[in-house]
Amino acid sequence: MDEFKLRNGMSIPCIGYGPDSLSLMAKYPKNGRLVNRVRNKIRKELIERPQYVEMLAFTLKSGCRLIDFSASYGDGSLIAEGVNKSGMKREQVLYTTRISNRAQYDEKIEQEFESQLRGFRTDYMDILMLHWPVTDYFEKTWIKMIELKEKGLCRIIGVANCNSHHLQRLYDISGQYPEIDQFEVHPLFTQKELVSFCVKNGIQVEAYTPIARRDDRIYNPPLMKKLSDKYHKSITQLILRWHIQNGIIPIIRSMNKDHMRHNLDVFDFHILEEDMKLIDGMNINSRLRYDPDNCDFSAL
Ligand SMILES: NC(=O)c1ccc[n+]([C@@H]2O[C@H](COP(=O)([O-])OP(=O)(O)OC[C@H]3O[C@@H](n4cnc5c(N)ncnc54)[C@H](OP(=O)(O)O)[C@@H]3O)[C@@H](O)[C@H]2O)c1
pLDDT digits (tens, 9 = 90+) for 206-246: 999 999 999 999 999 999 999 999 999 999 999 999 999 99
3-state secondary structure of 182: strand
Write down the CATH number for the domain with range 3-299: 3.20.20.100
- The whole-number pLDDT of residue 31 equals 46
pLDDT digits (tens, 9 = 90+) for 126-153: 999 999 999 999 999 999 999 999 999 9
Q: Using a 6 Å cutoff on CB, does residue 255 contact ligand 1?
A: yes
What are the boundaries of each domain within the chain? 3-299
Please tell me the total number of residues recorded for the chain in this structure: 300
d(CA 183, CA 248): 11
Ligand 1 contact via 104 beta carbon (within 6 Å): no
Q: Is 262 in the pocket of ligand 1 (CB under 6 A)?
A: yes
Q: How confident is the model at residue 30 (pLDDT cuts 50, 70, 90)?
A: very low
Say how far apart CA 155 and CA 126 lie, in whole Å.
5
Helix (H/G/I), strand (E/B), else coil: 88: coil
Q: Give the residue from 122, 22, 4 showing the smallest Cα distance to 66.
A: 4
| Whole-number pLDDT of residue 36 | 62
**pLDDT, averaged across the chain:** 93
* Closest residue CA from atom 38 of ligand 1: 254
Name the residue with higher pLDDT: 260 or 23. Answer: 260
Nearest one of 200, 198, 202 to 190, comparing CA atoms: 198
For residue range 88-103, what is the model confidence (pLDDT) as tens digits? 999 999 999 999 999 9
13 vs 37, residue with greater confidence: 13
pLDDT at 48: 76
Question: Backbone dihedral region of 291: left (phi > 0), alpha (psi from -120 to 50 degrees) or beta?
Answer: beta
246 CB near ligand 1 (under 6 Å) = no
pLDDT at 35: 60
Q: How far apart are CA 262 and CA 3, in angstroms?
A: 18
Please tell me whether the overall predicted TM-score, pTM, comes out greater than 0.85 for this model: yes
Query: C-alpha angle 104/128/89, rounded to 5°?
Result: 140
